[in-house]
Structure 1
Amino acid sequence: MDTYIVDSNFFIQAHRMYYPLDVVPSFWDRVMDLAVAGRIISIDKVKNEIVKNKDELTEWCETNLAKGFFNDSQTVIQHYIRVVQWADSRRGHYTSSALDEFLHADEADAWLVAYALADVDHRIIVTHEISQPESKKKIKIPDACAPFGVRCVNTIELFRQLKVRF
């Protein structure tokens, strides 16, 4: 069974732009159902990106997602090293600031790739980022996933694959 690992933008963009908690509670009910069923998970670095805003979304996550939803990223350190080595090999393409941002210890993106890489056949990243391999100023998650065969989908594709309807 595939497990979907959600990026912080899955939550933040849903809350701020498309599915506000007070307007589309059915979206958040489905998110909670998928989390309880173990179909979606995330990592501690994503939680940190969400809670730093100290807003209604932070409160929702703390109230509605079990402690085990946000997994410890340190468990995939060997895979993270592979992602770091890949990023380092791209120094001729990406700017130093792009590499620094991607590899910053508190930044979730490289850790998400590593977490998916730890079980590449069954873990899929859910992100709103779109591949831009020509970009030099930012490493997009799908572009970091491609060399490792890690799959990425957006929120709508996640719901399609899981046959979730509203």
Structure 2
Amino acid sequence: MSVYVIDSNFFIQAHRVYYPLDVAYSFWQKVKQLAHEEKIISIDKVKDEIFDHNDELEEWCKENLPDNFFKDSSSTIVEYSQVTAWAISKNDHFLPQALNEFLDANEADAFIIAFVLNDSNKILVTQETSEPFRRNKIKIPDACIALDVKYLNVMEMFRQLNETF
């Protein structure tokens, strides 16, 4: 069975744009259910990105997600080095600021890709879309394509899980 590894933008965009906590109760109940069933997980770096706003989303995560939802990414250092090596090899395409942002140890993108890399049971879930010609930002889907990492967007995940809300 696949486990879906959730990127920061899953939570942040849902909360701020598509499914506000005060309106889309059934969406958030579904997220809570899937988290408790361990069908969806995330990593510590995503938690850090979510928990730096001290807002309703952070409070919801603390109150509704299981304690083991955010996994430790430090065990993926070998995979992380593969992801960073790929990014560095593209220094003729990406601007220095894009590389610096992607390689920043406080950013989740490279770590979440590393967490899924080489594990056929994990699928990365992100709302980012591929932009292979973009030079000022490394997009998660473009790194996933290059590194043969499975990824999809939120609605594709719900469809694969045969979930509705």
TM-score normalised by the chain length of structure 2: 0.98
2:103 corresponding residue in structure 1 = 103
The Cα offsets for residues 21-59 of structure 1, whole Å up to 9 and x where unpaired, read as 110111011001101111100000000000101100000
Letter in 2 for 1:7: D
Give me the identity figure in percent: 53
The Cα offsets for residues 114-151 of structure 1, whole Å up to 9 and x where unpaired, read as 000041x1111111100001111000000011122111
- SS of the residue 1:67 aligns to: coil
Question: Within 2, Cα distance between the matches of 1:59 and 1:44?
Answer: 16
Letter in 2 for 1:99: L
2:30 corresponding residue in structure 1 = 30
2:69 corresponding residue in structure 1 = 69
1:131 corresponding residue in structure 2 = 130
Question: Within 2, Cα distance between the matches of 1:149 and 1:123?
Answer: 12
Question: Within 2, Cα distance between the matches of 1:64 and 1:146?
Answer: 33
Letter in 1 for 2:85: Q
Q: Runs in 1 of length 4+ with deviation above 3 angstroms?
A: none
RMSD: 0.7
Q: When the two structures are aligned, how many residues end up with a matched partner? A: 165
Question: Within 1, Cα distance between the matches of 2:63 and 2:118?
Answer: 28
Question: Within 2, Cα distance between the matches of 1:139 and 1:111?
Answer: 13
How much does 1:69 deviate? 0.4
- SS of the residue 1:58 aligns to: helix
